[in-house]
Amino acid sequence: MPRARTSKAMRGQQGPIMHWAARMEDRFHRFRLRRGRRRGLVTTVIPYTAYGRTANDRPGWVRVLCRVVLTRPDAADTERYRKVRGWRAFFSIPVGDTPVIVDIDGVEVELLADRGGVIDARLESTLQAGWQQLTIRTNDTEPVVAPVYVVDDQARLGILSDVDDTVMVTALPRPLLAAWNAFVVHEHARRAVTGMPVLYDRLAQAHPEAPFIYLSTGAWNVAPALGRFLDRNMYPPGPLLLTDWGPTHDRWFRSGRAHKQKNLERLAEEFPDLKWLLIGDDGQHDESLYSDFAEQHPDAVAAIAIRRLSPSEAVLAGGRHKSEPRDDRAPWIWAPDGAGLADHLEELGILPATPN
């Protein structure tokens, strides 16, 4: 089987000097890793949904997403790990700086997991449009399958959605409520925002070629729980773009806003022919983020749809953060639920009109 050459990181390329907090975190993880292996924990690869683009008139590629952790032998099966709930998901031990082998249609590429055990890499691909699969393994694990949605070059619309308070009621910005939701609450206790599953299903039916991408400031630890929530509430499947909490090489904590900005810019670069329907809420920074993006990439925005929080939700979310649109070439719509947003999207022609 052909094997691509190892990445630059695998060849010992020196990175930036890390913040002292990050160095302390790495020492703590190394201690946990040694202790975990002595307790008999085993390496497990957790695959996440990937996305990519077909190889028609341009080279095809796939953005591979996964995480390497230590788990108990009876939980090493990926499906069992995905059922880990609440606070337990945050106690998994990341296996950083370990080689990971990705097989895309018979071509293997060796990558290096980052210090948090995360792989986020763009690789060349010849996969056809639609839902496909790739496999991921380490030198001491069996291959696991990761779904990947490959966007056809003929697609012209993409849907990018926030998660918290847009598809799922969470009141995330308040730290205590955020901790309660992340560490304690079972995802069955969370509820979908009224009308949003129906809206997203209508968008999927009207634009079957469009990718759905869910962008959140949540940690990779909650990816299994979020995936279960989206699936149970019948949201269209799609990649989750999350982040890794904790210190970085130059600061105490990662910036959630910067995480969203970086991924928005990346999507604009990766899919220059797509116009994005950007969906968020007015309780965090979605309006200002989307406004900045529309100003910088006016030709990449089909519309901006903002879910208005209820008065009680706005209080829990720390108030509203309404930003006036700065570029009238991108249509803005507001509504308190999915049905109201659907009515506006019908007026814009993004959704077909429902019969009276």
Contacts with 189 (C-beta within 8 Å, 6 or more apart), sequence order: none
> Which pLDDT score is estimated for 21?
56
User: What's the whole-model pTM score?
Assistant: 0.84
Per-residue pLDDT of the chain (356 residues; tens, 9 = 90+): 555 544 443 434 445 555 555 566 667 667 677 787 788 888 999 999 999 999 877 789 999 999 999 887 765 555 555 555 544 556 678 898 899 999 999 999 999 998 888 999 999 999 999 999 999 999 989 999 999 999 998 999 999 999 988 998 875 554 555 555 555 455 555 789 999 999 999 999 999 999 999 999 888 888 888 898 899 999 999 999 998 765 444 444 556 788 999 999 999 999 999 999 999 998 878 999 999 999 999 999 999 999 998 766 655 555 555 555 555 678 999 999 999 999 999 999 999 998 76
H-only helix segments in the chain: 20-38, 78-81, 175-183, 196-206, 223-232, 256-270, 286-296, 311-316, 338-348
Query: Does residue 269 contact residue 236 with C-beta atoms inside 8 Å?
Result: no
Q: Both tokens of residue 252? A: 């105490």
CB atoms within 10 A of CB 346: 14
3-state SS, 241-277, equals: EEECCCCCCCCCCCCHHHHHHHHHHHHHHHCCCCEEE
* 107 burial type by CB count under 10 A (0-12 exposed, 13-18 middle, 19+ buried): middle
Helix (H, G, I), strand (E, B) or coil at 86: helix
Length of the chain measured in residues: 356
CB atoms within 10 A of CB 116: 22
Q: Both tokens of residue 50? A: 């990937």
From the list 204, 205, 210, 74, the residue with the least C-alpha distance to 152 is 210
> Which pLDDT score is estimated for 9?
39
Measured torsion, CA atoms of residues 272, 273, 277, 279, in degrees rounded to the nearest 10: -20
Cα separation, 350 vs 348, whole angstroms: 6
> Which pLDDT score is estimated for 90?
60
> Which pLDDT score is estimated for 252?
43
Helix (H, G, I), strand (E, B) or coil at 88: helix
Cα separation, 287 vs 291, whole angstroms: 6
> Which pLDDT score is estimated for 315?
54
Q: Report the chain's terminal Cα–Cα distance, integer Å.
A: 58
Query: Does residue 304 contact residue 278 with C-beta atoms inside 8 Å?
Result: yes
Contacts with 268 (C-beta within 8 Å, 6 or more apart), sequence order: 276, 293, 297, 300
Q: Both tokens of residue 38? A: 């002595």
Domains of the chain, each with CATH number or no CATH: 8-151 (2.60.40.10), 157-348 (3.40.50.1000)
Residue in this structure with the two tokens 């939700």, named with its chain if needed: 313
Residue in this structure with the two tokens 């990519």, named with its chain if needed: 52
